Amino acid sequence: MFLQVCLYFYCKCLWRCLKFVVRKLTGQCELQRICYNTKPGAARTMKIEASLKGSKSKRLQTSVSVHPDAIEKTIDDIMELKRINPDINPQLGVSLQACLLQIVGYRNLIAEVEKLRREPYDSENPQHEEMLLKLWKCLKPNSPLKARISKQWCEIGFQGDDPKTDFRGMGLLGLYNLVYFAEWDTEIAQQVLSDSLHPKYSYSFAIVGINITDLTYNLLVSGALKTHFYNVAPEAPTLTHFQQTFCYLMHEFHKFWIEEDPLDIMEFNRVREKFHKQILKQLQNPEMALCPHFAASESLINM
């Protein structure tokens, strides 16, 4: 343990000495070198984030957790602290602002998603009930729901006659994602539902959707989705980005399930874990955008 501590401080000191030497040779601080030598997207933003967090300056360390409204002031503070003339380096401020918007936005997105996850479904809340009924109408437009408490809910993959009990694990987040999928990717959602009812591939659509919500949530909280969001969101990633990612993962898991050709639903955990590892591997690539058709990559140019 003592040797490990010594090695840590040795490497830390060596790294700072190296940074000092490079700055003297290039005339640029680390933030400048990253912005000038790394193209916009996850590769640049993650390097900027690591540099700020690893700084010996408390002001730089805390810059990744400021309020979005304080980002412009924070950029001015960074430029002043690093003795960078904004008139000579105007593009640097623009690049740093784009990175900080993504970094701060990711943290805020986690908080927003966590709030939804912690809010339980309340059958006495008209808005909750309205969303649940919208889910049915989007998925089964030609089959009217005969009653709020009904075995019909099993037709879209809930476990019993009242779906509210199935949302306990993911709270409102599970419902939000299912409704978004059914409303905005209606054709795909209906096809996935239809396939899930086939005897060969049988699984509970809604329950799997809540489970994939859990998978998407864990990818977000662990930081694994930074690669994806920093590549598709030119500024702060939003709840819509999260829901779009859920739709993508739900569809991809469905295709993966069919390809795996499991014997029955008892193999769900094995297939899910294998799928999870595949997604994690993809996200290790700094160029990765899971659903590039949602990307606003053109907006990242010249930032």
Each residue of 120-152: pLDDT tens digit? 999 999 999 999 999 999 999 999 999 999 999
Q: Is the dihedral of CA 281, 282, 287, 288 positive or negative?
A: negative
**Whole-angstrom Cα distance, residue 300 to residue 303?**
6
* CA–CA gap between residue 275 and residue 252 (Å, rounded): 9
Q: Which amino acid is at 294?
A: F
**Res 190: pLDDT:** 96
Q: Are residues 172 and 71 in the same domain?
A: no
- Same domain, residue pair 140 and 108: no
- Residue 92: what pLDDT? 87
Q: What is the DSSP string of 153-211?
A: GGGGT-SSS-GGGGGTTTHHHHHHHHHHHHHHSHHHHHHHHHHHTSTTT---HHHHHHH
Tokens in use for 145? 């729901």
Asked if 95 and 159 sit in the same domain, the reply is no
Q: Is residue 301 part of a domain?
A: no
Note the pLDDT of residue 7: 57
Domain identity same for 242 and 130:
yes
Question: Is residue 164 one of the residues assigned to a domain?
Answer: yes
Question: What's the pLDDT score for residue 168?
Answer: 87
d(CA 124, CA 61): 45
- Taking the C-alpha atoms of residue 252 and residue 272, their distance in angstroms, rounded to an integer, is 11
Sign of CA dihedral 90, 105, 15, 302: negative
Does 203 share its domain with 83? no
Q: Residue 30 in 3-state DSSP?
A: helix
Of 175, 212, 169, the C-alpha closest to 192 is: 212
Cα angle for residues 18, 23, 26 (degrees, 5° grid): 120
Give the amino acid at 76.
D
CA 249/CA 291 separation, integer angstroms: 9
Q: How far apart are CA 16 and CA 56, in angstroms?
A: 9
Q: What is the pLDDT of residue 6?
A: 53
Residue with tokens 């290039």: 26
| The pLDDT of residue 88 | 79
The pLDDT value recorded for residue 184 is: 92
Domain membership of residue 6 (yes or no) is no
Q: Within its chain, how far is the Cα of 206 from the centroid?
A: 21
Amino acid sitting at position 130: E
- pLDDT averaged per 10 residues in sequence order, the chain, 303 residues: 55 49 55 90 94 90 92 91 83 91 96 97 96 97 94 95 92 97 95 93 95 98 96 92 96 95 91 97 93 49 40
Q: Which domain holds residue 222?
A: 125-284
52, part of any domain: yes
Q: What is the pLDDT of residue 292?
A: 63
Helices 186-196, 171-184: axis angle to 10 degrees equals: 110
Q: Residue 177 has what pLDDT?
A: 97
Question: Number of folded domains in the chain?
Answer: 2
CA distance 270 to 292: 28
Residue 10 within any structural domain of the chain:
no
> Is 222 a member of any domain?
yes
Instruction: Pick the closest to residue 229 from 165, 156, 157, 288 (CA basis).
Output: 288
pTM over 0.95? The answer is no
Residue 151 placed within a domain: yes
* Calpha distance 199→35 (Å, rounded): 54
Q: Are residues 262 and 137 in the same domain?
A: yes
Contact call for residues 45 and 100 (beta carbons, < 8 A): no
